[in-house]
Amino acid sequence: TSVQAYRASLLHFSGDPAFDEHATRWHGDGLLIVADGKIVAAGDYDQLIASLPAGTEVQDYRGKILTPGFIDTHVHYPQTDIIGSPAPGLLPWLNTYTFPAERRFESGEHAAEVADFFLAELLRNGTTTAAVYCTVHPQSVDAFFNRSSALNLRMVAGKCLMDRNAPDFLRDTAESGARESEELIKRWHNKGRQHYAITVRFAPTSTHAQMKLAGELASQYRDTYIQTHVAENTDEVKWVKELFPDSRSYLDVYDQYGLMRERALYAHCIWLDDADRARMAATQSVATVCPTSNLFLGSGLFDFAGADRLHMPVSIATDVGGGTSFSMLQTMNELYKVGRMGGTHLSAQRMFYLATLGGARALQLEGTIGNFAAGCDADFIVLDPQATPLLARRSATTDNLEEQLFALAILGDDRAIAATYSAGKQVHQR
Ligand code: GUN
Ligand code: FE
């Protein structure tokens, strides 16, 4: 075994700081010990240094903060090239920019080239795990998992199911979509660090027949993920009511087809009512909150108070290319403002929890990623509180942990990620 050790401030979580005041783990002068791609120990430098095998080199990151790698629970890799495209709202944006861009992924070569750029961009921003939409084309999924495996990253991804209300070049059928999804599950699910997500794009682009087959796959392969969009935009909600008149609500469409369970990721969850929120909690389905996307597309403001009141599981995500940044720090910045508009004050510690252990819990991967517990994958990042002149100046004004982290969340971006490690290997350095 080869042992690596890193001296820095360490920040991670053992629970949700919003509900547990002892959840934050902070070691101002800390040591992180890694062997064979896994965490061995994390704690105070003074206490751990004696346990290092003689001759182990200690990488000196003093002045920087090590945290677990960020987890982005909802992002579209085929939309990398259309980030920041102008359109008046979700449905025009899909038709004008998204669908034409996704057409190009019928080419596996194009898919591999975009996947490489996308994964490098995630790592530059400190994101080591993401739940990723591919396109309707199975080759877009093969290309993505091939590139992710080559880098040994832990990723969740799946093929979009869409058999109506989309251009014919982006449609499968209920039968072909289910068959291709099953083949991809067998090829990729739990292969090394790759995990499959059954991906119903959203209710308007699937027939009843397709939803039914997706629900059957989800109950046959219980440990796969499910990912979809729900209640993002009021025009979309109205459309779903017309397409599925027998459902009590938009979310209820998915519920009726057996698509609510653990490992089910529901993007946006803006226009839910309390019955929906209670159903999310009862089934342990997880909302993926996408603030930069929701503001950019004018979709609406996620209701944190409502989510907390009903104990609805939440995680946070970029939703690139509807989202406007790959940075989970920029995502926190916008998340905070969305919270404020609803009267909520989100602490920096809660936001960092949501970007790390909270994401791991959303993916049912606590103990594997998300904190520095012994045995976890050594997926971690080096945050630089002095990354820019303004950050350095702001950080110098305070010793208070919450204030330091808050400034990083509000002012930070990819420049604040000094380095990224995946399975103990450095995969990005600024
Ligand atoms: N709803 C259905 N497809 C999409 C998508 O690609 N992005 C967003 N933001 N919402 C969607
Ligand atoms: Fe999305």
How many angstroms separate the alpha carbon of residue 15 from the centre of ligand 1? 31
Tokens found for residue 306: 């409502």
| Atom number in ligand 1 closest to CA 205 | 2
Closest-CA residue to 13 (of 421, 379, 372): 372
Element at 71 (helix H, strand E): strand 70-76
Tell how strand 314-316 and strand 286-289 pair up.
parallel
Helix (H, G, I), strand (E, B) or coil at 399: coil
129: enclosing H helix or E strand:
strand 127-133
Which ligand has the nearest atom to the CA of 94?
Answer: 1
Verify whether ligand 1 is closer than 6 Å to residue 102 (CB atom). no
Best probe residue, ligand 1, of 73, 75, 80, 90 (max atoms within 8 Å of C-beta): 90
Question: Which residue(s) pair with 67 in the sheet?
Answer: 381
Distance 226 CA to ligand 1 centre (A): 15
Alpha-carbon gap, residue 100 to 115, rounded angstroms? 17
Q: Could you give the domains of the chain?
A: 3-68+371-429 (2.30.40.10), 70-346 (3.20.20.140)
| d(CA 90, ligand 2 centre) in Å | 10
User: Which residues, 6+ apart, have CB-to-CB distance to 317 below 8 Å?
Assistant: 72, 73, 74, 75, 131, 267, 288, 289, 290, 323, 331
The 3-state secondary structure of 361-393, one letter per residue: HHCCCECCECCCCCCCECCEEEECCCCCHHHHH
For residue 200, what are its two tokens?
A: 């119903």
For atom 9 of ligand 1, the residue with the nearest CA is: 322
Cβ–ligand 1 distance for 293 under 6 Å, the answer yes
pLDDT of residue 381: 99
Q: How far is the CA of 411 from the centre of ligand 1 (A)?
A: 27
Q: What share of the chain is helix, strand, coil (3-state, %, to 5)?
A: 40, 25, 35
Q: In a mutational test of the pocket of ligand 1, which residue from 81, 83, 91, 98 has the highest number of ligand atoms less than 8 Å from its CB?
A: 98
pTM equals 0.98
Q: Distance (Å, rounded) from C-alpha 25 to C-alpha 28?
A: 10
DSSP structural state of residue 416? G
Tell me which ligand sits closest to the C-alpha of residue 318: 2
User: Which parts of the chain sit beneath pLDDT 50?
Assistant: none
Cα-Cα end-to-end distance for the chain: 28
Q: Give the ligand with the smallest distance to the CA of 296.
A: 1
Q: How far is the CA of 158 from the centre of ligand 1 (A)?
A: 14
Which pLDDT score, from 0 to 100, does residue 140 have?
98
Nearest atom within ligand 1 for CA of residue 319: 9
* Helix ranges, 151-229 (H): 174-188, 208-220
Instruction: Quote the pLDDT of residue 105.
Output: 98
Look up tokens 């085929």; give the residue.
Answer: 78
pLDDT of residue 7: 98
Q: Please tell me the distance between residue 321's alpha carbon and the centre of ligand 1 in angstroms.
A: 9
Measuring from atom 8 of ligand 1, which residue has the nearest CA?
A: 322
Q: Token pair 């059957």 is at which residue?
A: 216
pLDDT at position 280? 98
